[in-house]
Amino acid sequence: MTESDDIIAAVPSGLLHFKRVNDHVSKPWSEGRLLPNTATLNDSSVSGVAAQSDNSRLWVYCVSGGKLHSFYRSTKDGSSWVKDSHSPFPKYRISGTPAVTSSGGWDSQRWNLVVPCQSGGLLHTSTKGSSEKMLWEPIDHIAKDLGFISSVSVATIQRNSGSLYGYSFEKTDIVMVCVARGRLHTAEGKLAQSPSGYSSPLKWEAQAPTRILHPGEVTGNPMLIKKDSANQLDLLVPSAEGGIFHFIRTASTPDEWHMIACITFHQGLPAASCLAIHSNTSYGKRKFRAVIQSGGRLYYVMTTESAKPWSGSYLRPIVSPGPLSG
């Protein structure tokens, strides 16, 4: 799911795209349309999907058969999907659920793409400036000691690195959270050039991963969300026993993750296998929007940031998107 509520789902017939239609309360979802030539990229072969949009394009990345597959289309209505044949990881076998995020700040056109490697650890690369050209930096292989990683989420935060002649300079830190053997692990590091020169490749200088303490095993995929104009991060991840764990990491406590809620749903619902979530601030109130996959079905849930997050929220099934749905 993207910030504009574009949703990409792997279904038996391929990759399906639809989006939320906010001005139709009774029919809140657009007609679902399959991405062309994705019949083999279906719910039985795809291990994870990630999506990213900018002002001009919507990009989709999925992992299947040990490879990364990517597609894009213009954000203009009626645009056709195009398959991108240039993989940023041609020499690696990958698996699990990938993650993609913008660097943000002055470097918002640069994207960071992270995928689990089949041999263990994570692979990272970033675009060289403009996302229109899709040229990629050399690959960083991190967190090898964690072994097999099933899913990962990444977010970027901006830190002031000083000023010169009245201009402030920021550096980009990448924060990752991943799931390995049912436990959460995190690592952080700056995206920086090597000392060899200004034109040298960018490298993610990630620190060694550390554990995030949590009650019980986790499953599915984690989701990191950055709060607007602040370096606070929210982390949500499905619990293996059902429901969703919600943690926060504030700017004043960057080394601590605080669990602020355990979102529980009605009994009998299987543990979530996939989670997508975004937030936005409107009239001073921050709202969360999430899509959860459970038992082969999709559910939509919304809430507002408060002293009791997710209290009273409930899942709304997404059934047969489109104007002809019941």
Q: What is the pTM of this model?
A: 0.89
Q: How far is CA 130 from CA 54, 60, 68, 133, in A?
A: 11, 17, 20, 6
pLDDT of residue 26: 67
Instruction: Return the higher-pLDDT residue of 92 and 167.
Output: 92
* Domains recognised in the chain with CATH numbers: 1-87 (no CATH), 89-212 (no CATH), 216-326 (2.115.10.20)
Taking only the tens place, the pLDDT of each residue in 287-325 is: 888 999 998 889 998 888 877 777 777 788 887 776 655
Tell me how far apart the terminal alpha carbons of the chain are, to the nearest angstrom.
23
Rounded Cα distance between 78 and 55, Å, is 16
Rounded Cα distance between 294 and 43, Å, is 13
Taking only the tens place, the pLDDT of each residue in 62-109 is: 999 999 999 999 877 778 999 987 889 989 999 999 999 887 655 556
7-21, 96-110, 146-160, 214-228, range with the lowest pLDDT: 96-110
Q: How far is CA 225 from CA 229, 231, 234, 292, 299, in A?
A: 12, 10, 5, 16, 19
Rounded Cα distance between 69 and 87, Å, is 7
179, β-bridge pairs: 151, 184
pLDDT of residue 323: 61
> Under a CB-based contact definition with an 8 Å cutoff, are residues 315 and 265 in contact?
yes
Rounded Cα distance between 107 and 88, Å, is 20
Average pLDDT of the chain, as a whole number: 85
Would you say residue 256 has pLDDT above 60?
Answer: yes
Taking only the tens place, the pLDDT of each residue in 1-60 is: 888 889 999 999 999 999 888 776 667 888 889 999 999 999 999 999 999 887 778 899
Would you say residue 149 has pLDDT above 50?
Answer: yes
Pair of tokens at residue 311: 């209290």
Would you say residue 164 has pLDDT above 70?
Answer: no
What confidence category does residue 233 fall into, taking pLDDT thresholds of 50, 70 and 90? very high
Would you say residue 161 has pLDDT above 70?
Answer: no
Rounded Cα distance between 169 and 246, Å, is 32
DSSP-derived 3-state class of residue 77:
coil
pLDDT of residue 321: 75
Q: What percent of the chain has pLDDT over 70?
A: 87
